[in-house]
Structures are given as C-alpha cells and as structure tokens.
Chains A and B, each alone.
Chain A
Amino acid sequence: MDISVDFAGLKLANPVFTASGTSGYADELADFMDVNALGGFITKSITRKPRKGNPTPRIVETDSGMLNAIGWANIGLDRFVEEKLGILGNMSAAVFVNVAGASIGDYVSVVERLAGEEAIAGFELNVSCPNVEQGGISFGTDAGQVAEVTSAVKKVSGGKVLMVKLSPCVTDISVTARAAVEAGADALSLINTFTAMVIDIERREPVLANRTGGLSGPAIRPIAVYLVNKVYNEVAKKKGIPILGMGGIRTASDAIEFMIAGASAVGVGTWNFVEPDCAVKIVEGIKKYCADNKKKSVKELTGSLK
C-alpha cells in the first residue's frame, strides 16, 4: 500500500513525522527504529547560540500526559551544522529544522545559515514554546508578531518549506494560523503544548523548576483534533496549505483521527518517550487502515470528516 503524500511540494514516503523535541537530532532514535521508515523528521529547537536549558525538575507526569520545561536546551547553530547535518543528510525522511529564538533576528540568522543546506527540506518556526522567558509563545500568541517573524524568515529561507508551529494558548487559533499563512507560511503544524502547572502540595511549590511547563500527551489529543479541524476549515483548506497535525498521538488510530480532521501529515511527540519505535508502528497501521477501507491514497483521508 502506497501511503506517500505531497506535503507543501515535498514528496514524503508516508505522512508520519516525529515531533520536535521528542526525537533529538535523530541519532538517539536510531537505536530503536529505522529512522528511514519516517516520512518526516523534525529536529529539536535550534537556537543561534547554544542553550543550557532550564534547571531541573524539567518534567512531571500528569494523568494521561506530562509537563515539560526543557528550555530549548540545544547545541546551538554552529555545532548543529558541524555535528548533526551529516547524519540528517543521510536520512530519507524530509528533515525539518525547528528554529527558535528570542528575537526576529535570531530566527532569521538560524534560517539564513541553513537555507542552502541540502540535508534540510524545511523549517518549523517555533513561535509557541511556553518555557522560555523571551521568544517562543510571546511571539506565537500575537498574530502581528507571527506575521512579522514569518515574513522575515520567508525572505531568507531559500525556497525551503516554511512551516509555522502554532500555540493552542490563544482565543482563536485561526487568527494566528491566518497571519502565518498570509505572511508566507507554506505549512502549519499544530498544536504545541498548553501552558500548565503541577503543584507539590507538601511544599506548596510548583513541581517544575520553571514553575510552569507545556502539557503534552494523550490528555490534549481531543483538543488538538478539534483545533486541527478548525484551522483546516477556516484557513488551510481554502488556502491549500497542508497541516501537520499533532498532540497526544500514540497509535495509528489516533493519527488517522487527525488526518480525517484535516491534517495532511501527523507528528508523534510524547509517545516516542514511552515507545521509541511507535512511529514505525503508526506507519504500518495507517497502511492497514487504508487497505482495509479501500483507499486509493492516504490523501483521501485528509479532511474527510463528515
């Protein structure tokens, strides 16, 4: 069963990505699965300078989910180019670099440096991280700033696919989705995590050193499915912009829900931590579903919600 998809002009072997920040720079995941079985791969957030990340505790489990506040811990642009591009260039999956920064200039300098690299198919702009003081979500919850950073990056992206990752922490996600698309985004990924808090009642302090973190995992999946469907109906469908749907996907059934809701491809995030080869199982599950339901193409699923 052929489940290849066209995603913003990229021909992907299948619609399954691993989401940013949950699969390292790919080499970590390679111990557990054939990374070439993926349709797409998204690196953890890369910033202009290396970042140590936040103090610990950086995670806490909740019912059906977890909070994280890693704080963009990464090796920085220079080391990323030196040490990781080679590995990523050997992957058959479409590689997206997740780009983060505290200012528009930060985003621009990372994208500018990587725009000419053959190893990279596209960029995912992280304008929705809840765990850093500057940048991230402070960009992503303001439509004007989403537009500004998107159009600034678009100019230097060298024709590579530009995907903007949306925050669910807004009143109307279609407003930021539209702002990104009108400013030149070729694709949208949603959703990032929800800002959340867990309190240690003995100490009366938040469990996370960062106090708050981003809630991910199965707990957010129904909200993510709803938001994907909303953005599909209100923005993406009309503009012909593909959606990378994510939020709590564990199984092929979960992934298929997102596609029916309007996603052209799906991202597996938190579940990589529990079952590091789950993405491969999801690819197989999607194939089976398409065959069982006599779909000629997996594309027939996208937006097929009655």
Chain B
Amino acid sequence: MTDNGAGSTKGVYEAVVRSNKEIGQRFYRLGLEFSGAGGETFAEARPGQFAQLDLSGAPLPSAGAIPEGLADAARRGIILRRPFSFCDVVRKDRKTQVEILYCVVGPASLRMKGLSGGDRVSVIGPLGRSFSVAEKKRYALLVAGGMGAGPLLYLAKVLTGESSKMEVVVFAGARTREVLPFRRPLDEISRQLGFSLGEFAEYGVKSQVATDDGTAGYEGLVTDCFSEWLGEKNLPARDTIVYACGPEAMLAQVADIARDKNIDCEVSMERRMACGIGLCQSCAVECKVEGSNESVYKLCCEDGPVFDSKEVILSS
C-alpha cells in the first residue's frame, strides 16, 4: 500500500449507490456509500483527490431519456474506468458517504445517470495528490470553472472546519446560468445578483458568481471577476492562497493573476487517463524543471491532479 500524502491507502472497493439526483441541466450528484475497509479508507479522502469508477455495467437510460445530442454517444461501449473527484465526504455510523458532482456528456456519464439506489459500483481510490490545506494562511480564494466546482466544495468544507480561522471566498463561473452546477434552484439564482451559493454558504463561505452572458452574477469571465475583486481587496499576499479547478485556459489565467500578486496558487488539472494509478502513463502534465529550460512530463494521476501553479506549464 502506498501513502499518497493524505494518510489513506488506495485500493479497489465496492460502493453502494445511495442517491443520484439531478440538480440542474445535465448536472447530477451521485452519493456512494462505502463500508468496511473501503469506508475507513474513503473517510480519509482529501479534497482534490479522485476515484476511478467502473461504469461499464451501469444501465443506459431508455432511448427517450437520452439527452439531445448524445444519441451517438449512447451507442458506444465503454471499458475504461472514469475519474471523478469528490464534492463531499461524510463519515457516519462506521460508513463513509462520498458525493460526486458530474455532468452528463458522453457514454460513461450517461450510464452513471442510470445508476439507482442499491446498485453496486467498483471504485479504485482515493487517488492522487490533494489540495494542500494551508492552515497558516488567513485567506483562501477558490476559483471554479463549470464542473471544477466539485472538488472546491469539499475543499471549502475542509478549510472552514472546526477551529479554522480562515476566511474563504469562492468565485464560480459558467457560460450561462443554466450550467452553473449548483443545487440551489436556478430561478432563485437568476433573480439575485451577488447572491450566495447555498452549498458554499453552508460552510460560511461567501461566493461570487460569473457567467459569460451575464444571466447570473458578474457578466464575463470568472477570472476577470476574481482579478477585479482581488485588485480591490489588497489582501496580504503571504497570508493568502488561491485554489483553482476548471478548464486549463482558466487555470492559466488564475495562475498568472496569482503570480502577479505573489500569491501561492494550486491548480487541479484534468487529463484523459486509462488507469489512474500510474500504469498507463497517458495522463502526462508538462512541468517545468527548476533552473532549466527543459520540461518533464509528470502524471496527473499520481503527481497531481493538484499541482503548484508555478510548476505546471499551462496551455491557454
């Protein structure tokens, strides 16, 4: 067994589906329950880590329930597991409940949508390096693009845990209000500007929303919203840390903003991966080599998915 820096041992475990709720347009939250050794292991799962789910045996929705544009994808068979991070982890009654935020986009997530209470899923995890929970910092700024909100929800919970004096603010962006992956009724969201996102508010975390088309919150990119906010606040750089998860172009922007202000920044990367456990070498992330112009490939699954933003070469 390997210590992945988070105190947990990875392995293959069976989870039981406890819930699978639609929370918005094509967005769902899957609740998985682990008991026994899996329960103990997943209780230690850290924000930013992920698990590999075998969805090949999950049922496809009936023809009528397949979302528009995914009819061809529904025809495709799948063999590989799919990586998902955790938006919440709760230990209760010697069992561990893991929540996964997902979007239905292709053949695997279509099957995931077909899972229902009592179904069993083979899960490998917890995998990868988590966000470092920098207890010495006073301010944590979370920047989420689209589905990137998932692991940041769990991070917000951990950062604001008992005895935390940290002030946490989240910036959540999406193209339009319909695709903001949050549970709060969208009607309510659209009516308010500068509203707070329910899931983050639960942890006492203030939120700022940005949509490209201005249908909710700030009109424009979440990175612009974040940059403007940061410019006004003048936070002490040494006491602040930025955590980001979202599309790579967004991560590149966030990394630049943080670098300009001399603020530490961690980014969660995404790559196509077959195994998630360092065997296939497919999830390469190009990283700088200190003191040289050379670069090396590190693995998103083992060296990441969370990287120091100064280390990775982000493509915008």
Contacts and interface: CB of A to CB of B under 8 A. Distances in A.
A pairs with B: yes
Interface of A: 21-24, 28-29, 31-32, 44, 52-61, 63-66, 68, 70, 73, 217-218, 270, 272-277
Given A22-B279, A70-B282, 6 more contacts: A31-B11, A53-B284, A53-B297, A54-B284, A73-B284, A274-B80
B272 A276 contact: no
Interface stretch (B71-79, B113-121, B199-207): B71-79
A274 B279 contact: no
Nearest to A219: B79
Specify which of B76, B273, B279 lies most central, judged by the most chain A CB atoms within 10 Å of its CB: B279
A32 B11 CA distance: 6
22 contacts: A21-B280, A22-B280, A24-B278, A32-B277, A52-B297, A56-B283, A57-B271, A58-B281, A58-B284, A59-B272, A60-B272, A61-B79, A61-B80, A63-B77, A64-B79, A65-B79, A66-B80, A73-B281, A73-B284, A273-B275, A274-B275, A277-B12
B80 A31 contact: no
B296 interface: yes
A23 to B, nearest CB: 6
Contacts of B297: 52-53, 73
**What 7 pairs between A and B have smallest CB-CB spacing?**
A273-B275, A59-B282, A58-B282, A28-B278, A273-B274, A63-B77, A70-B281
A248 B49 CA distance: 30
A276 B79 contact: no
Interface of B: 1-2, 9-12, 54, 76-81, 124, 271-275, 277-286, 295-297
A24 B282 contact: no
Contacts of B282: 56-59, 68, 70
A20 B167 CA distance: 49
A61 B280 contact: no
A66 B79 contact: yes
Contacts of A52: 295-297
Specify which of B9, B271, B283, B284 lies most central, judged by the most chain A CB atoms within 10 Å of its CB: B284
Nearest to B107: A61
Contacts of B1: 31
Contacts of B296: 52
Specify which of B76, B79, B297 lies most central, judged by the most chain A CB atoms within 10 Å of its CB: B79
A24 B278 CA distance: 7
Contacts of B12: 32, 275-277
A33 to B, nearest CB: 10
B79 A217 contact: yes
Contacts of B295: 52
Given A32-B12, A65-B79, A274-B54, A24 B279 contact: yes
Contacts of A60: 272
B286 to A, nearest CB: 8
Given A32-B277, A73-B281, A273 B272 contact: no
A129 to B, nearest CB: 13
Nearest to B9: A31
Nearest to B295: A52
